[in-house]
Structure 1
Amino acid sequence: MRLSMTMGALLAGSLALPPAAMAQPMAAQQYITVRSEPIGASTKLGGTVEPLKEVSFAAQAPGRISFIAGVEGDYHPKDTVLVSLNDDSLKAKWRAAYAEFVNAEAGVGDAKVQYTREIYSGSAMESENTGMAIPKMFDRYMTRPFSDMIGADNPKVARWANVRSQGARIQQAQARLEQARAALQELRASLRDTKSIAPFDGVIVRKHIEVGDTVQPGMPLLEFADTRNLQIKVDVPARLMPGVKQGMSIPAKLDVGDAQIETRVAQIFPMADPQRHTVTVKLAVPPNVPGGPGMYAEVSIPDVTSPVEQLPVIPKTAVLWRGSLPAVTVLGSSGQPELRMIRLGGFVNNNAVSVLSGLSPGDRILANAVAAPTGVWNPAAQAAQ
């Protein structure tokens, strides 16, 4: 008799709720009624998480690597020098070019002085501009009047020619100055090309060189990206594009912890791939999400060509995972909780998910799976669903 009472108590204990579950407050075991909503069909596509901004630096000049700011994963703010080439030879050329610039600048000044002298104190006779006093006086009072008298010389034309010659010297000096300035600018650009500067805040994601390496123009140096702002790149079949609009919200699931996020269509490429017949779409990812560039993401693209169905919708918190199988705690007809396996559809929003099978509108389920008691799995009720 005592043995039969003991066995009965054990059987009753295996089907009843554990004491911890019985002691839980009613607020933690709140049951809600399953409702239905019109849900359109969607297609799940695989995408890749990538940085919002990424640049690849390549060598612009030949030289030897003299400095690298860090290794992969190092953060650097905007305008930081990431890679530098040895520039000793370019600096020597720049100093030589600067000396030529100074000489050309002095030549312009001297040409202007000579032009001014010709305007205010010059003469049509060359000997009046140079030489000793007696030859000047002889040319002025003897040679010039005699030449003018016999028509061998025209003082006005000679005077104009001298002024024009001095003006031409100014133009030539200015041309040499501009040539020297252009050489300086070219060398300054070459010096600037020896340094790779961060165009924005970010991290080094890939490094192709080491200090001491010799590079030629076009060789890759490193890749730099802003990994704090992410986006998802997905190739959408052309038949699904009518359901994708700029700025619309699209649910996605990240590969890290199966995190469910809500993305926004940021960019739609204007042309489909002629081989794959897909259109590249970029989705803006909200900040501070788990994961990083290069990871896998699953995107639910709405299919407007499929009919809309009425499906049960439940909160995400109501789903209880048994390994890879989703389940919910249902309030049975006897008033006791029952564990029921379900088949999930897509996410309706950030807080709700649709159910393809296992539940019906009007069922009472536990709203918080964390507080779910260990109920009884009822195969008969499961089969009825």
Structure 2
Amino acid sequence: MTTRKKASVLLIAGLFASTLAVQAAEIIQVETAGARSQSVLGSTVIPYKEVTLSAQIPGVVKYVAGAVGTNLAEGAVVFKIDEAQLVAKREAVLAQISIAQAGLQNAQAQYYREMTSPRSKDIGAMPGFGLPSMFDRFAVRPFAESFIGGYDADTIRQSDLTNAMSVVSQAQGQLQQAMSQLQEIDSALRDASALAPFEGIILEKMVEVGDTVQPGQPLAKFGYVKYKRLQADVPSGLVGNLSKDMLLPAKIDGSTDTSVRVSEIYPIADPSRHTVTVKFDIPMEITTAPGMYAEIYVPENKKGGSQVTVIPRSALMKGSSLPGVLVVKDDNTSELRMVRLGSEQNGGSKVAVISGLNPGEKIINNPPAGVTSGWMPTTVEPKPAPAPTPAAK
């Protein structure tokens, strides 16, 4: 290749590189476009039903049904806590019940004896073939009742009956108390096992075999995942545009486009965030997993027509967790500004901006990764290539 040809190639390459540099980052004006105004809301895939299983008694975990994702039928044991101490207490209570039953039988026998053969008329209570007792009954007691007073045989017999009846009542109370303790222990034994309230899978485990737990401590999250939902916090200004069974477009995990149905709208708003929780049903044929991210396109009611603010998607800052753009200020410097995005426009090359930008403002399109406020693109004028040297003859 001659020197002249090499110089021409270098000149063309320099002009091409300069053109690329100019196109890589440029200042553009924010425009508007006629489109239906929509807000893009982030949401999370959740199970159709989800519960948290907690410990009801203290103890050591001795059984776990399986790892996260294990499918269990309704009523299956998910966790089990060691119940050895409860079993020992139950045996002790059973012994107390036996003692209480024996005491009740004895008290009832004594009461029946008092009814049929009062102790106050028992002639065998004294020795001598009952002669002292008979003398006391037929001579001393009538004399005391007639002349001295203060002695009433019927009152004494009634007192003996009342005393025997109170002993029966006490024995019945002791038996009932022991039976109540047995019911309490049986209930605790049932609580030693955490059962699946419905068919589903283990979503999360908080403990393992050998861990010591206390009442109220969460053990696992269990969910029904045959059907799934999206849960989103909708701004209170947009929730009025939604109604039950309404279909909305959505994008799951950034790639799967589908339609979701409004299934539940909470009747109250979060006072700190001013949002309302809304749940959406996902079609069964869509493959998702709890925890996935999804975007829902919620319609907006804007006054003054259907013009929306749009920017190129390439103007968004790269590597940022929140959408932002570099806005050019009057002093020819830039500032980073967070924006709230809407639906895609023009086949995805542009995106609507719900808030953060106004039409007519200037922004930097296609900024390099890693730049921040203050960065401005520089346009380099292509320099003429040096004159080629004469070729050696």
**Of 343, 346, 370, the match for 2:347:** 343
Quote how far apart the aligned CAs of 1:148 are: 2.8
2-structure distance, mates of 1:245, 1:342: 28
Q: Which amino acid aligns with 2:105?
A: G
Is it true that 1:178 corresponds to 2:188 in the alignment? Answer: no
CA gap of 1:126–1:227, structure 2 versus 1, over 3 A, is: farther
Aligned to 1:277: 274
Task: Please list the CA deviations of residues 210-268 of structure 1 after superposition, one character each: whole Å capped at 9, or x if unmatched.
Answer: 222233334332221111121111000111121122343333332275141332332x2
Q: Which amino acid aligns with 1:168?
A: S
Q: Which amino acid aligns with 1:205?
A: L
Task: Please list the CA deviations of residues 35-79 of structure 1 after superposition, one character each: whole Å capped at 9, or x if unmatched.
Answer: xxxx96432211111012212223333322211111111101111
Aligned to 1:95: 91
Aligned to 1:113: 109
Is it true that 1:160 corresponds to 2:164 in the alignment? Answer: no
Q: How high is the TM-score relative to the length of structure 2?
A: 0.63
2-structure distance, mates of 1:257, 1:93: 59
**Of 199, 223, 233, the match for 1:235:** 233
Aligned to 1:32: none
CA gap of 1:247–1:122, structure 2 versus 1, over 3 A, is: farther
Is it true that 1:55 corresponds to 2:51 in the alignment? Answer: yes
CA gap of 1:173–1:308, structure 2 versus 1, over 3 A, is: farther
**Of 233, 250, 253, the match for 1:252:** 250
CA gap of 1:246–1:137, structure 2 versus 1, over 3 A, is: farther
Task: Please list the CA deviations of residues 284-330 of structure 1 after superposition, one character each: whole Å capped at 9, or x if unmatched.
Answer: 333343101111122122223457869xxxxxxxxxxxxxxxxxxxx
2-structure distance, mates of 1:307, 1:63: 66
Quote how far apart the aligned CAs of 1:90 are: 1.3
Q: How high is the TM-score relative to the length of structure 1?
A: 0.64
1-structure distance, mates of 2:69, 2:78: 13
2-structure distance, mates of 1:189, 1:256: 49
1-structure distance, mates of 2:97, 2:68: 43
Task: Please list the CA deviations of residues 120-160 of structure 1 after superposition, one character each: whole Å capped at 9, or x if unmatched.
Answer: 3325x164585665155444434443333332411121122
2-structure distance, mates of 1:254, 1:62: 42
2-structure distance, mates of 1:227, 1:221: 19
1-structure distance, mates of 2:212, 2:67: 18
Give the match's secondary structure for 1:112: helix
Give the match's secondary structure for 1:173: helix
2-structure distance, mates of 1:297, 1:64: 40
Contact 1:107/1:173, CA 8 A, preserved across alignment: yes
Give the count of matched residue pairs: 276
Structure 1: 5+ residue stretches without partners? 1-38, 311-340, 346-385
Aligned to 2:373: none
Q: Which amino acid aligns with 2:300?
A: D
Contact 1:200/1:226, CA 8 A, preserved across alignment: yes
1-structure distance, mates of 2:247, 2:106: 71
Give the match's secondary structure for 1:175: helix
Q: How does 1:211-226 map to 2 (within 5 A)?
A: 211-226=209-224
Contact 1:207/1:223, CA 8 A, preserved across alignment: yes
Structure 2: 5+ residue stretches without partners? 1-34, 308-344, 350-393
Aligned to 1:198: 196
Q: Which amino acid aligns with 2:185?
A: L
Q: Which amino acid aligns with 1:115?
A: Y
Q: Which amino acid aligns with 2:156?
A: A
Q: Which amino acid aligns with 1:141?
A: F
Give the match's secondary structure for 1:343: helix
Q: Which amino acid aligns with 1:343?
A: G
Is it true that 1:69 corresponds to 2:73 in the alignment? Answer: no
Give the match's secondary structure for 1:239: coil
Aligned to 1:5: none
Is it true that 1:286 corresponds to 2:283 in the alignment? Answer: yes
Contact 2:245/2:261, CA 8 A, preserved across alignment: no
Q: How does 1:251-330 map to 2 (within 5 A)?
A: 251-255=249-253, 257-266=255-264, 268-305=265-302
Q: Which amino acid aligns with 2:103?
A: G
1-structure distance, mates of 2:105, 2:243: 66
Is it true that 1:83 corresponds to 2:79 in the alignment? Answer: yes
- Percent identity between matched residues is 36
Contact 1:242/1:304, CA 8 A, preserved across alignment: no
Quote how far apart the aligned CAs of 1:277 are: 1.4
CA gap of 1:128–1:229, structure 2 versus 1, over 3 A, is: farther
Quote how far apart the aligned CAs of 1:116 are: 2.9
CA gap of 1:155–1:288, structure 2 versus 1, over 3 A, is: farther
Contact 2:243/2:262, CA 8 A, preserved across alignment: no
**Of 132, 138, 143, the match for 1:141:** 138
CA gap of 1:293–1:165, structure 2 versus 1, over 3 A, is: same
Segment drifting more, 242-251 vs 197-206 = 242-251
